[in-house]
Each structure stands twice: as structure tokens, then as C-alpha cells.
């Protein structure tokens, strides 16, 4: 299955060029993805400048032969076609490059070899499920050996296994079909319309000035947000009058991490994310009735936090250093008599 630290270097770059040359439609989709720019995108480059790490490069430049110093071509490749679709080691890959019509190596028992084109195709039920994603989208902190969720930087695969959508493959949501092919762009995760299609949210104003925001996943496949340490969702309410914000209150959905000076592992302080049941969040920008002419506004925003040192804690979400945002809702609260 695909995973980090493939370290196949030039052979992978050359083989990937062959993929792109023949599979042009899929390649165009992949070139617009975060996979293609996994190493070169600005967010990762900023993080790598602050904290250079061969551990992180293992997923972001998996074909690099020197993880801390990818060559320009290895860096530009990012997570290539071959990183997921050619799961052989570098010896087999080099041989395949020399002879694209070579016979397949001995396949695992759950893989069925087929020969219907210019190269061998191995169809794997494991790859079609979560196996294609698990190697880079769930992993422990470096040097961590415990098996609980607190030991993992990312827990997306185990979250999916516990979800109501566990029987569905990751690709069923994240690789929407376009023109008869699964999209390899993964652009949906940065599309507010697409993200909202898997959520529902509403807000009511209470007589005491509290705003109750209810949010739920319509078909939950994992926690929201999932992924790395740097993702959070801000849910907020603000009192506004004459175009000015008078007061606000916010709640952050995220895995809340502490800092451990002498270890690469960070203690998990709490997990406030949205899982498989609706969440009701009460916010009070300012207690009491609304001033004349004032309105209450509420919002839900998906965020990427720039640094772990500035990540919101359980007690101080305002400390977060926000790198990018994807607004999902921003509406005026509807009064209620409850």
C-alpha cells in the first residue's frame, strides 16, 4: 500500500512522467491537487522553514532519496501518481521503467493481476477501501509507541472505522466522479459549498442573550475537522450595531494539544470536534437583552492554524495564529421565544 519514505528518487520521477504522458485527463486533475504540491505549497514550506523535519518530508516528498534534502525534481513531484499507484520498491520500479510491459511481481493473495493494456494492473480491495490513504493520513508522533488516539498526530482512518460511513471508501466522498473518472484534484476540501453539503448548522437567540448554535454532520465519515494538528473550526457569535462589533464569544472545535519541551509527542488535553451526533454550543457575546438596533451574528469557519505554538488551548482560543480560513456560514441569528 502507499506510504511515506518511498525513496525511489529519479526512477520515480521518470516513471511518473510516463503516467502523465498517457493518462492526461487524470494527470491534469492531479496537477491541481495538494498532492502534486505537497512539498512545494507555501503552507508546508513555511512550516518546514520553522521546523525542518525528515519525518514530515516522508509524506510530503515520499520519493526523495534524502528526506531532509529532496532534489528539485523530487520536491516538484510531491505525492505523485507513482507514490500511490506503483507500490513496488525502487528495484521493481527501475525494472518497470526499463521494460514497461514486464510481468507483475508475485502479488498478495487479495490482489488480482490483469493485463489489459501496455502495463500490468493489480486490482486490490484494500487499496480501493482506506488502504490507499492510511499510510499518510494516520500516523503516530515520532518515537511514539502507544496505540491510543492520544499517540497519533492524525486519527482519520480510525475515526472512519468508527463512523456510520465505515463501509464506504474514502474515495466515495473525496474523489467525486467527473466525466466518468474519479477526480484526483481533491479540491472539494477547500470548496465551501462541498463542505457545507456534509453539514447542517442553525442558530437561535435565547431571551438571556445566549446564542445556541446547533451543528451536525449529515453523513459523518470522520471527525470534523480531521487531519493534522493545525486544523480547527471556529464557531462564533457577535453583537453588532451600526456596523460595529460590540462583543463576541467563540468556541473552537479541534484536538487541543499541550506543549512538551523535551519530547516530540504533545499531550492531548481534550477533543471538542464534531463527531457522529449533533453538537449544541451556547455562546454569550453579552448577557441580557439586545440593545435597541443591535443584531446578533453567528458564523462557522474552517481554519488552518499556522503554528502549533499558537494553536488554541482549551482556555484560550484567541491565541490561535490563523493561516487561512474557509467561511462556511455567517448569518444573523433568528430570535426565539424559548
pLDDT digits (tens, 9 = 90+) for 115-157: 567 787 888 899 999 999 999 999 999 989 999 999 999 999 9
Pinpoint the residues of the chain covered by CATH 2.60.40.
192-335
pLDDT of residue 336: 58
3-state secondary structure of 306: coil
Phi, psi (rounded to 5 degrees) for 316: -145, 70
What percentage of residues in the chain have a pLDDT greater than 70?
Answer: 85
pLDDT at 7 over 50: yes
Is residue 261 very low, low, confident or very high in pLDDT (cuts 50, 70, 90)? low
The alpha helices in 3-155, defined as continuous H runs, are: 9-22, 24-31, 42-50, 54-60, 72-77, 81-85, 90-98, 125-126, 132-137
pLDDT at 108 over 60: no
* Terminal Cα distance for the chain, rounded: 54
pLDDT of residue 264: 72
pLDDT at 106 over 50: no
Task: Tell me what the mean pLDDT of segment 67-90 comes to.
Answer: 90
Let me know: does 338 contact 206? Beta carbons within 8 Å.
yes
CATH of domain 192-335: 2.60.40
Instruction: List CB contacts of 157: < 8 A, sequence separation 6 or more.
Output: 130, 133, 134, 137, 138
CA distances from 184 to 63, 67, 219, 312, 332 (A): 19, 25, 22, 32, 37
Q: How far apart are alpha carbons 129 and 108 in whole angstroms? A: 16
pLDDT digits (tens, 9 = 90+) for 44-64: 998 888 888 999 999 999 999
Instruction: List CB contacts of 316: < 8 A, sequence separation 6 or more.
Output: none
pLDDT of residue 321: 80
Report which of 175, 129, 128, 127 is spatially closest to residue 1, judged by C-alpha positions.
127
Q: What is the DSSP string of 201-228?
A: EEEEE-TTS-EEEEEEESS-SS-BS-SS
Beta bridge partners of residue 299, listed in sequence order: 236, 330
What is the model's pTM? 0.86
pLDDT at 183 over 60: yes
CA 129 to chain centre: 17
Strand order across the 231-241 sheet = 244-253, 231-241, 295-305, 322-332
pLDDT of residue 113: 60
125: left (phi over 0), alpha (psi -120 to 50) or beta: alpha
Q: How far apart are alpha carbons 260 and 102 in whole angstroms? A: 51
Is residue 292 very low, low, confident or very high in pLDDT (cuts 50, 70, 90)? confident
Is residue 100 very low, low, confident or very high in pLDDT (cuts 50, 70, 90)? very low
Q: Given the DSSP bridges, would you call strands 177-178 and 152-155 parallel, antiparallel or unpaired?
A: unpaired
Amino acid at each position: 500500500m502507499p506510504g511515506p519514505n518511498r525513496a525511489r528518487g529519479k526512477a520515480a520521477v521518470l516513471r511518473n512522467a510516463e503516467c502523465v504522458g498517457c493518462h492526461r485527463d487524470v494527470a491534469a486533475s492531479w496537477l491541481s491537487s495538494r498532492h502534486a504540491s505537497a512539498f512545494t505549497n507555501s503552507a508546508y514550506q513555511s512550516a518546514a522553514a520553522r521546523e525542518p523535519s525528515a519525518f514530515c518530508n516522508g509524506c510530503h516528498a515520499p520519493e526523495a532519496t534524502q528526506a531532509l534534502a529532496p532534489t528539485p525534481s523530487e520536491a516538484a513531484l510531491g505525492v505523485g501518481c507513482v507514490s500511490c499507484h506503483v507500490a513496488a520498491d525502487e528495484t521493481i520500479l527501475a525494472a518497470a521503467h526499463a521494460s514497461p510491459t514486464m510481468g507483475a511481481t508475485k502479488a498478495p493473495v487479495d490482489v488480482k493481476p490483469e493485463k489489459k493494456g501496455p502495463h500490468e494492473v493489480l486490482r486490490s480491495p484494500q487499496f480501493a477501501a482506506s488502504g490507499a490513504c492510511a499510510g499518510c493520513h494516520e500516523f503516530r508522533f515520532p518515537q511514539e509507541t502507544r496505540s491510543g488516539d492520544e499517540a497519533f498526530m492524525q486519527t482519520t482512518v480510525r475515526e472512519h472505522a468508527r463512523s456510520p460511513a465505515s463501509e464506504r471508501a474514502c474515495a466515495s466522498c473525496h474523489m467525486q466522479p467527473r466525466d466518468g473518472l474519479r477526480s484526483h484534484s481533491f479540491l472539494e476540501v477547500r470548496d465551501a459549498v462541498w463542505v457545507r453539503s456534509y453539514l447542517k448548522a442553525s442558530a437561535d437567540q435565547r431571551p438571556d442573550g445566549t446564542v445556541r448554535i446547533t451543528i451536525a454532520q449529515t453523513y459523518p465519515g470522520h471527525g470534523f475537522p480531521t487531519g493534522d494538528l493545525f486544523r480547527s473550526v471556529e464557531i462564533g457569535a457577535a453583537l453588532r450595531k451600526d456596523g460595529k462589533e460590540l462583543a463576541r464569544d467563540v468556541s473552537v472545535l479541534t484536538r487541543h494539544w499541550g506543549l512538551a519541551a523535551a519530547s516530540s509527542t504533545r499531550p492531548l488535553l481534550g477533543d471538542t470536534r464534531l463527531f457522529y451526533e449533533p453538537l449544541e454550543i451556547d455562546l454569550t457575546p453579552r448577557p441580557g437583552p439586545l440593545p435597541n438596533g443591535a443584531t446578533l451574528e453567528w458564523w462557522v469557519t474552517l481554519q488552518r492554524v499556522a503554528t502549533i505554538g499558537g494553536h488554541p488551548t482549551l482556555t484560550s482560543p484567541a491565541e490561535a495564529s490563523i493561516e487561512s480560513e474557509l467561511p462556511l456560514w455567517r448569518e444573523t441569528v433568528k430570535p426565539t421565544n424559548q
